[in-house]
Amino acid sequence: MTPNYLKKMLPLLLGADPAQATNVQLVSLAKAFAAGYGLVSSVAPAGEFGTEETYRNRIDSLFWALSERSEHEPDTAIRSRMVHAMYSLACETVFSVDLRKKNCCYRAADALVRDFVGVVGARPENGLFQQTGVCMCAADLLYPAPAVDDEYLLFLKRQMAGWTFALDADGCWPGVSSEVALERIGVMNRVAWMFPDLENDAVIRRATGYYRRCVRVPADPLNFDEGYLCTLGRMYEVALQGNALPVDKPVARRIARFMYDYSLTLPVRGDAWYYCTSYVIHCIAESIGARLEAEMERHIA
């Protein structure tokens, strides 16, 4: 997990054809290229990890692939991750906002939330994943200043209140998987940052304390249940999120290191391989960026 890994992986990821990638792979590619762009557009020496133009071109093609595919994705949980990835690419990777892309994000999120809210009857088996994903996109849609009576804001408030009520005194959601729980924590913490009126820091911290004790980073990549991979991804994101929670970079690095080791056991260009690689690239880019920023500050001082 060194800067050389980033240089080695860039040509491989650039060789990925969005038209041939699965929807899950598109989301992972979006995470990887957003992290790379954040590095090259801020503190990295020109050209060392690729050019801004290279990343912009790939981000552009990924955005439109996600936009087109998300309209036809039948699984709401995957669709919500695709829409959120669109927001990340359109609003967090360029200095000037592309209004065409922003409006496309708005329409995609609006359709997603409206479709979810309009469902009558029992939810499918992955309904809890759908719920957290839709809430994440509802927050994207509402930010920065929703009207107090906005129907989606009221929907978001109901979901947050339901999650808060269901949390027990230990910080556990009985009957809910660790992956869903960590995703709820991430959504609640993000919503609290975006809309201070909805903050509930005590609940967020209590839940985080419980699930940080429950979720362990595996030691042996050769003896690992791949179904646990997304739980580690959610823990990685919670560890770096901040706001109501202390940033825990050591945990994030341990998770990224395990994903690196596990990726070496996987077929290249499979869903799991792309998933692991995106987190490894994010971790390395964050580490390089932090080091270069510290060096710049020392020179200025």
284 within 8 A of 1, measured Cβ to Cβ: yes
pLDDT in tens, the chain (301 residues): 788 998 899 888 988 999 999 999 999 999 999 999 988 887 767 678 888 899 999 999 999 999 999 999 999 999 999 999 999 999 877 656 788 999 999 999 999 999 998 765 556 657 899 999 999 999 999 998 888 889 999 999 999 999 999 999 999 999 999 999 999 999 999 999 998 888 889 999 999 999 999 999 999 999 999 999 999 999 999 999 999 999 999 999 999 999 999 999 999 999 999 999 999 999 999 999 888 888 777 777 6
Indicate the length of the chain as a whole number: 301
CA nearest to 288, candidates 21, 105, 44: 44
Determine the pLDDT at residue 124: 61
Its pTM stands at 0.94
DSSP letter at 71 equals T
pLDDT for 123: 61
